[in-house]
A and B are shown apart, each in its own frame.
Chain A
Amino acid sequence: MAAPQHKKIALLGNPNAGKSSLFNQLTGLRQRVGNFPGVTVERKTGTCKLDAQHQADIIDLPGTYSFYPSSMDERIAVYALLDTAQPDYPDAVIYIADVMHLERHLLLLTQVADLQLPVVVALNMNDIAEEQQLHCDTAQLSKLLSMPVVKINGRNGDGVAELKKVLLQITTSISPKLPAPFYTLTENEKQVAQRVGNILPVKNDYHAILLAHHATKLPFLTVEQKNEILSVAQSSAFNSIDSQLEEIMQRYRFFTTVTQQVLSRQLRQPVTLTDKIDRFVTHKVAGPLIFFAILLLVFQAIFAWSAVPMDWIDMQFAQLAATLQELLPDAWWARLLTEGLIPGISGVLIFVPQITILFFLITLLEEVGYMARAVFMFDNIMQKFGLNGRSIVSLVSGGACAIPAIMSTRTITNWKERMITIMVTPWISCSARIPVFAVLIGMVVPAYKVGVFNLQGILFMSLYVIGAVAALLAALVFKKVMKTEDPSFLMLELPAYRKPHWKNVIFTLYEKVSAFVLGAGKIILIVSVILWVLASYGPPGKMKEAVNVATIESSVMQYDKEMTENHIAAKKLEYSYAGYAGRVIEPVIQPLGFDWKIGIALITSFAAREVFVGTISTLYSIGKDAENNTIKAKLKNERRPDGTPVFTTAVAVSLVLFYLFAMQCMSTLATVYRETKSWKWPAIQLAFMSGTAYIASLLAYQLLR
């Protein structure tokens, strides 16, 4: 054999069973994110060394409670196990179960075993169980289930070596021993299963009956197959819900005898630390107050901690560009590098500190179990706006970056609630709006204190509030307009509070930040190169003319060398393709108080909002790398040809509102496309966001001017 054979092992379990900890223990940093075949949803795979010769691919399936899923995340796990033809169909399954909830965790375990897949049970949370004098007889459990059971500790890695040994045994044996089916199908189910088996190849009757349960939604079936299965189900009077209940009840009857034999005592309800904490954290009055206090702290932390690393990144890239400019010849490729690519990369990386800090704190809140409480508290309010309690996690994450925030909506069961969350999340002010707001607010509002508060700070805060309120109002509109038959559920597990597992936090953080860097980064980079071309080249002959005009004007005005250079750069931009585009859209944006120069900035910042600042400073000959204060001061003095200032309060307010509301982020649109698999939703989002922006700016400018 040429290449070493990689066996595929799926990692399956209930939510909160400690699945990600075990995945990280097994694979370490050897993880990759890919797509599930057929569904454009990310999937984590990692390589695990079983011994010196053998490696296995571990496929991390999203957590689910049973084979009857309701959210998109859960469906992915189930569908991946039903599609036996997919290239990554597992050879074996690691089932992670929590001793503390053993009975419930046996449900999904016996379901997956009934698909005739070799299963190893990784029994987790033994340390917590022992603390509460709950012992589990794993040998007896293994005997009753006829499958290997290994005690592990996802936090410190105890038992993982033993687990690997068992995995090696299973994956290298030619015909691993499989337990007898746990579930006995009813006569009706058997009949349906037989007939489904005639339509397409199935592993066994249970596989067939699951295909009948999920036929309409399975992405890997053809339309004909779906219709045939449906007609079989109909003609046999197969009722999916009744059949599910029958199956679950039958399975549980067996589990009761299992837990009686293997657990040292039956579960009881002690008053735990979690109960004590929840008395405050979910309290009628204290609960919401604590939530908002945490939010304030989180955003305070972003501003307090991110300034230094952001300035550092900015400086490094500016220096790199400057050094290269001196070293390299004045050729087009050198300019592409120093004026297009490097600023493009810098524009992506500059947001990493803020995004990292925000996601670090959000991940921490999720890891300790707090987020589920927030979901519980706010579900009702969120529902009034057509959202789900779970939307709160996405909306808060939107304060860092809409891309991972939109990806986190997958846990929302109801299609309509999920779509609305996706639609309105980009109105939560993300970190890319901060530089734009900073310049514009600084221009019109003096750094002046009202009591202990900084006036600029108050305005900043109110922009966040306006964004959040607008998001909720938009949700309300979508709620009225959209129709759905899908039932909506909360049914959320509130995990016991626990100490954060730092390794998990770091891994999750890494995933979310790379979702931003790779997802948004690619697009920002490509678009910034395109925009560089548009801003550096113009119709034939025009660029030369621009340089000539600028040189003559500079000598008339007796500019020094730097001012002349800046003036030339500005003139070149005016005569470039981007400049022409700015003039073309001027009639449309004039009612908002924007001239064609601002038009250029609107175009160049369509890929990413923060580009606005750089473009504006080039256009007004300030020099690309000027300090914010210089930019503000210079912009204030800008005059139109008739002598009136360009950036009046009305214009600045109009611009702030425009950037608050407009969908100036290609990466978000691309993410929405990926998540909804349709261009319809990004198109609607672009239209309603930018439409609102136009109207808001129009009103503000016309009223204030």
Chain B
Amino acid sequence: MTATQNITHLKTGQTALILSYQEGRIASKLMAMGLLPGAPVELIRKSPFGGAYYIKSNEHLLALRTAEAKAVWVLPQETGTR
């Protein structure tokens, strides 16, 4: 069940481990931007008007659209507190 979770399933402030990607083109871009399988990812914030996710992985801060966030399969680590 956990294997089917993606970034959009995370709560704000929750961290997870990146497992793999669902779509090649997005994977290529995200990996080039430093978002790698095995790396931790934290959902910092959802955009005020929805549709975008502000995430942090190691020292990288990235904004992803829903479709892009959905393409990142994750293993949630802990529940968000913020």
Q: What are the residues of chain A within 8 A of B62 when measuring CB–CB?
A: 491-494
A274: Cβ under 8 A from any B Cβ: yes
Most buried by B among A65, A242, A283, A375: A65
A278 interface neighbour in B26, B31, B44, B59, Cβ under 8 Å: B44
Cβ-defined contact, B59 with A100, below 8 A: yes
Partner of B51, one of A245, A383, A489: A383
A208-B68 Cα distance, complex, nearest whole Å: 30
Contact indicator A377/B48 (Cβ below 8 Å): yes
- Distance between Cα atoms of A492 and B54 in the complex (Å): 9
List A contacts of B1 (CB < 8 A): none
> With an 8 A cutoff between CB atoms, is A593 at the interface?
no
B61 touches A274 (CB 8 A): yes
The interface-forming segment of A161-169, A284-292, A501-509, A515-523 is A284-292
Please tell me if B30 contacts chain A, counting CB pairs below 8 Å.
yes
Complex interface bits, A354-394 against B, C-beta within 8 A gives 1, otherwise 0: 00000000000000000010011111110100000100000
Which B11-28 residues have a C-beta within 8 angstroms of A?
24-28
Contacts of B54 in A (CB 8 A): 278, 282, 376, 494
Chain A residue at minimum C-beta to C-beta distance from B58: A267
Residues of B within 8 A of A285 (CB): 48
- CB-CB under 8 A from A376, the residues of chain B are 47, 52, 54, 63
CB-contacts of A238-290 with B (<8 A): 241-242, 244-245, 248-249, 252, 267, 269, 274-275, 278, 282-285, 287-288
Q: Does A654 contact B (CB under 8 A)?
A: no
CA distance A356 to B25 in the complex (A): 40
Q: Is A496 an interface residue (CB 8 A)?
A: yes
Asked whether, in the complex, the Cβ of A241 is within 8 Å of the Cβ of B64, the reply is no
Question: Given the known A-B contacts A101-B34, A248-B28, A372-B63, are A283 and B51 also in contact in the complex, defined by CB atoms under 8 Å?
Answer: no
Which single member of B32, B40, B52, B56 contacts A68 (CB below 8 Å)? B32
In the complex, the answer to whether A245 meets B48 with C-beta atoms within 8 Å is: no
Interface range on chain A (Cβ under 8 Å from partner): 35 or more
Q: A248-B28, A288-B48 are in contact. Are A379 and B63 (CB under 8 A)?
A: yes
The answer to whether A282 touches B28, judged by C-beta atoms less than 8 angstroms apart, is no
The minimal Cβ–Cβ distance linking A140 to chain B, given in whole angstroms, is: 20
Q: Are A494 and B48 touching (Cβ within 8 A)?
A: no
In the complex where A104-B34, A267-B58, A269-B42 touch, is A490 in contact with B28 (Cβ < 8 A)? no
A495 at the B interface (CB under 8 A): yes
Contact in complex: A494, B31 (CB < 8 Å) = no
Does A643 sit within 8 A of B, measured CB to CB? no
Interface check A565, CB cutoff 8 A: no
Interface residues of B, count at CB 8 A = 33
Instruction: State A284–B12 Cα separation when bound (angstroms).
Output: 12
Is A104 a contact partner of B33 (Cβ separation < 8 A)?
yes
How far in angstroms is the closest Cβ of chain B from A105?
9
Report yes or no: B61 in contact with A494, Cβ–Cβ below 8 A: yes
Within the complex, what minimum Cβ distance (angstroms) separates B19 from chain A? Answer: 14
A66 closest partner in B (C-beta): B32
Residue of B nearest to A286 (CB): B48
Q: How far is B34's CA from A378's CA once the two chains are assembled, in angstroms?
A: 24
Inter-chain contact B29/A381, CB cutoff 8 Å: no
> Are A496 and B61 in contact (CB-based, < 8 A)?
yes
A491 CB contact (under 8 Å) in B40, B51, B64:
B64
Q: A248 to B30: give the CA distance in the assembly, Å.
A: 11
Is B7 an interface position by the 8 A CB rule? no
A487 at the interface (CB under 8 A from B): yes
List which A376-430 residues lie within 8 A (CB) of chain B. Answer: 376-381, 383, 389
Contacts of A27 in B (CB 8 A): none
Tell me if A70 counts as interface (CB < 8 A to partner B).
yes
A157 to nearest B CB, angstroms?
25
Is residue A77 within 8 Å, beta carbon to beta carbon, of the partner chain?
Answer: no
Check if A379 sits within 8 Å of B30, measured CB to CB.
no
Question: Is the pair B24, A241 in contact by a Cβ cutoff of 8 Å?
Answer: yes
CA distance A487 to B36 in the complex (A): 22
Q: Which residue of B lies closest to A252 (CB)?
A: B36
Q: CB-CB < 8 A to A241: which residues of B? A: 24-25, 28
A103, B31: Cα distance in complex, Å: 11
Interfacial chain B residues near A288, Cβ < 8 Å? 48-49
Q: Which of A464-513 contact B (CB under 8 A)?
A: 487, 489-496
How far is A383 from B26 in the complex, measured between Cα atoms in Å? 18
Tell me if A245 and B27 are in contact (CB < 8 A). yes
Interface centre among B29, B30, B32 (most CB of A within 10 A): B32
Query: Which of B34, B47, B56: most chain A Cβ within 10 A?
Result: B47
CB nearest to A493 among chain B residues: B62
In the complex, A494→B62 CA distance in Å? Answer: 5
A376-B52, A380-B50, A493-B60 are known contacts. Are A275 and B44 too (CB-CB below 8 A)? yes
A107 touches B (CB below 8 Å): yes
A666 to B14, CA, bound (A): 52
Instruction: Please name all residues of chain A whose beta carbon is closer than 8 Å to the beta carbon of B50 when the two chains form the complex.
Output: 380
> Which residues from B are CB-within-8-Å of A287?
48
- Flag if A490 contacts B48 (CB, 8 Å): no
Which residues of B are found within 8 Å of A283, using beta-carbon distances?
Answer: 48
B11 to chain A, nearest CB (A): 15
Q: Which residues of B contact A242 (CB under 8 A)?
A: 24
Contact A101 B60, CB 8 Å, known A65-B32, A241-B25, A491-B29: yes
Q: Which residue of A lies closest to B42 (CB)?
A: A269
Q: In the bound complex, how far is the Cα of B27 from the Cα of A241, in angstroms?
A: 9
Instruction: Please give the distance in Å from B22's CB to the nearest CB on chain A.
Output: 12
**A237-B60 Cα distance, complex, nearest whole Å:** 35
A380/B64 contact (C-beta < 8 A), A245-B27, A269-B56 known: no
| B70 at interface, CB cutoff 8 A | no
Contacts of B34 in A (CB 8 A): 101, 103-104
The 8 Å CB contact of B47, one of A269, A377, A496, is A377
- Which residues in B have their C-beta under 8 angstroms from that of A244? 24, 28
CB pair B42–A493 under 8 Å, yes or no, is no
Tell me which residues across on chain A come within 8 A of B61, comparing CB atoms. 274, 493-496
If the complex has contacts A282-B48, A380-B47, are A489 and B65 also in contact, measured as CB distance less than 8 A?
yes
Q: In the complex, A121→B34 CA distance in Å? A: 19
Known: A68-B32, A241-B28, A282-B45. A490 touches B56 (CB 8 A): no
Q: Residues of B contacting A108 with CB < 8 Å?
A: 32
Cα of A389 to Cα of B49 in the assembled complex, Å: 12
A108 to chain B, nearest CB (A): 8
Q: Which residues of B contact A103 (CB under 8 A)?
A: 34, 58
What is the CB-to-nearest-CB distance from B70 to chain A, in angstroms, rounded to a whole number? 13
Task: Assess the B63–A278 pair: CB atoms within 8 A.
Answer: no
Check A245–B24 contact: CB distance below 8 A.
yes
Q: Cβ of A375: which chain B residues have Cβ within 8 Å of it?
A: 63
The 7 A-B residue pairs with the shortest CB-CB distance, nearest first, are: A380-B51, A104-B34, A241-B24, A66-B32, A376-B63, A65-B32, A494-B61
Q: Which residues of A contact B (CB under 8 A)?
A: 65-66, 68, 70, 100-101, 103-104, 107-108, 241-242, 244-245, 248-249, 252, 267, 269, 274-275, 278, 282-285, 287-288, 372, 375-381, 383, 389, 487, 489-496
9 contacting pairs across A/B (C-beta < 8 A): A65-B33, A104-B60, A278-B54, A282-B45, A282-B54, A288-B49, A377-B49, A379-B47, A489-B68
List chain B positions with a Cβ less than 8 A from chain A.
24-34, 36, 40, 42, 44-45, 47-52, 54, 56, 58-65, 68
